[in-house]
Each structure stands twice: as C-alpha cells, then as structure tokens.
Amino acid sequence: MSEQNPEQLIHSPSPEQDSTMPDIPRSREMFRGDINDAVIQTQLSTGVEIDKGWWDSEVGNHGSTESILDRYDAAYPEYVEQHIAPQSQENVGVDETEVAEHNVEDMNRQNEEEAWESYTPIGSNDYEQANAERIKDGKIKVEKLGDDEHSITLVASIKVDPETGQAISGHENRPDAESMRDTEQAFADYLAATPAKQRFVVYEGDERVFDDRDEAITKAADSGLVQHLAAKDHIPTVSGEPTEAETTAIMEQLGVNQEELLALYVARGLESQIANGEADFLAGYINFQAARLGMEGFHNYSESEKQEILASGKLDELKTELNQKVSQLLPTLNELYRPNLDNKDLLVVAEDGSIGVNPEFAGSIAEITMDRLNWSGEHRLNEVAKLSMEMRDRVIFHRIQEAYNSGKSPFVVYGGSHIVTLKPALQAYSESQQNS
C-alpha cells in the first residue's frame, strides 16, 4: 500500500460507499490546536451539522483530545449517511448565503496554511538575525500589520537587566521598568486609533486579572499588565495558549511524554516561583505542574480547598505529604536536567525533607532555566522546548487570525521570541486577507 501524504486530509470513499455520500475529512487530521474548529471543518465539508444531543450521546467530552476526535470520526459518517437522502438535481435547493460562507471559510483556511509557510522557526538564521535586531536597544517593539481600518498590533515584550541595560531572558515583573511604561503607552495609542467594537486583546499564559497595576506586573508580568489594562476599559480578551488537554495530546503526537513536559514546565516557572518568595515550598509548585498535566496521584487544589486546609491548621501536614510525593519525581526530572547542567542535579531534597534548588545554581536560576534548559541547545529537553514553542506558536497564530477574521483589530502582547517567529506569518496572512 502506498504511503499517504500527511497533507491529504480528505479520504476517498470505499467502493462499497454510496455515491451520494460526500468525502468526509477526519477531524483528527484537521486538528490544529482547537477541537471545535476541527469538528466544524468536517461539518462544513459535508453540509451536515450535528446537535448537542447527538454529541453528548455519541462522543462526549471525556478523555483525551485524541480519544474525543477518534470517537467523533467513527460516529460522524453514519450520522451524515442518515441525514443525506438521494435527491434528483432539480429538487436540490441551494442556499447561496451558506455556500458563500463556506467559500469564505475555505479561503481563510487556505490563506492560513499558506501564510504559515512564512513562520520563522526559533534558532533559524532568519530568527537569530531578527531577534538580535529586536533586542539591541533594550526596548519593546510595537508592530502594526494591516491598515488603519483593520489591523493586528504586535507588542514584543522584553526584560532588561536594570544594572547593565542589556536584554536578558524571561518576562519583566518590575512595575517601574521602562518596558512596562512603554507597553502602557502602546495600549493608549491602540485605544486612540481603534474603534471600540474592534478592540480585542490576546495575552500570553493564563487569565490573571488584578485590580492593582503593580500587583498585576509583579505577579503576572506583561501578561498581567495588559489584562489589567483591558479590564479597566472593558475590552474582551482571550489567551493565545492551547488548553492543557490540547497541549498534552499534540505533544504526545510529537513523541513527547508527560515526564518530559513536566521537566520543561517546572524549569520554566522556577525563576518566577523564587522571585515571588515561594522558594520554601517548591513541592507545592511541582505538584501543581504535575496535576495540570493529569499525572496520576497529583491533585490541583482549588482556592476553597486551600482555605479549608489553612483554617483546619493542616498546612504543615500537607507540605510534608507533598514533599514526600514530589521527591519521587526528582530522579526522573534530574535525569532530564543533567545533560544540560554538566551532569548535576537541579532539584534536591534538604535535610528537613523539603524540595529545593541545588545551592550551586540558586544564584543563577534565570540563566539556568531560561538559557540552558530552554530551546537553545542540543539535548533532549532543548528539543522538547523547541517543539513546545512551535506548537504554541501555531495555536497563538490561529487565535489571532480568528479574532482578525471576526472583524477585530487585536492587540497582542507576547514574549519577544514569539513575536519574532510569528510576525512573518501574520504579515503574510493579513496581506492575503486584504487581497481576497
């Protein structure tokens, strides 16, 4: 049997298939980070829409993204067959509005795929050159794509060493940083130039809205700031990130297991964890990361559960329990970290049983986690970081173009590296939409 082209999303009907049946694309193969979008595209191709009752009874929302899409792909063809009756051509009515809408959807998808070919992978020569240009003056970069009537505003955030003035890895969490003031000015300029109905914010990471500006920056960096500003002006927002279920499913398809994802997630957040004064309870942080990945035996405690634990005086008991549980993960995590750290452990168990950072690395945690344990390097964890970033970038790109296609002029604040990789693709997409 000949090998199937992975870009060929439409399956040919079998000889036994009724000639009235349309070719049905598999949602699993159309999946680009959004389950709803993948399912909708299959229905657009057939013209047969499902309802909530059918979805709940035949598919449901339980299990992984992969299993949900597989159940849908198995059940949907029969549903289509039941809802397509043989008709003579003269009796077939054509809804011109629906056809036009489908044509627009098809064109948008084609434009998105073509624009994505302009994506600049991190670590490539084009990326290195563009990124060096971005950081050389130590300021945020604001790019406006499109035109005055319909645009995408990109803000490439930056973190600067206050002593040297040089750009360094990570996200800025100093309220008095120049980049924070410049981001506020960029947002003010955006408000002045953008009609209210077109305003929309795409932010990095999780939803974290704070009433106080300085608290927003301290606890959630530039993402916290832009969410704070959007809330003040009642502007709708969306995270550009994939859901945890989507992330796990996509990374699994790329050959990345839970332990490797956990090692990456833990490393990425260590600097912030320590900066926020929570270095004395790293076990709680690692437990949270393991729980969000769905690892067996780990639980994400809700705010009400945390309050109940505090009220009952069982916090120390919980800390002891989590230190013991997380200590069992350390051999696996450290095995992944060692190749990047001259064969040394990153995480250790102290004499009192608590989890901590190896004292040898405590004074250089930003350099360790953002440089040596991130995408730049040749070890397995560097490869995982690069795969994770490219997967995130594709979802971010899709979120932005969804907002743009709905008539919004999105204001997008993201880490500078993401903006460098995405800008050429977004530029190509906005130009293709203007020319459509």
Residue owning tokens 């990345």: 256
**Per-residue pLDDT of the chain in tens (436 residues, 90 and over written 9):** 333 332 332 233 333 444 456 778 888 877 776 777 788 888 877 878 888 778 777 887 776 777 788 888 888 888 888 777 544 444 445 555 555 555 667 777 788 889 999 999 988 999 999 999 999 999 999 999 999 899 999 999 999 999 998 998 889 999 999 999 999 999 999 999 999 999 999 999 989 999 999 999 999 999 999 999 999 999 999 999 988 888 888 898 889 999 999 999 999 888 888 877 666 789 999 999 999 888 999 999 988 999 999 999 999 999 999 999 999 999 999 999 999 999 999 999 999 999 999 999 988 888 888 889 988 889 999 999 999 988 999 999 999 999 999 999 999 999 999 999 999 999 999 998 877 6
Q: How far apart are CA 419 and CA 424, in angstroms?
A: 9
Assigned token pair, 401: 């173009």
Q: How far apart are CA 96 and CA 87, in angstroms?
A: 18
Closest to 263 measured CA to CA, from 307, 316, 184, 326: 326
Extents of the domains making up the chain: 27-93, 124-436
Which parts of 7-87 fold into alpha helices (H)?
27-30, 35-46, 52-58, 65-83
Residues shown for the chain: 436
Single pTM value for the model: 0.64
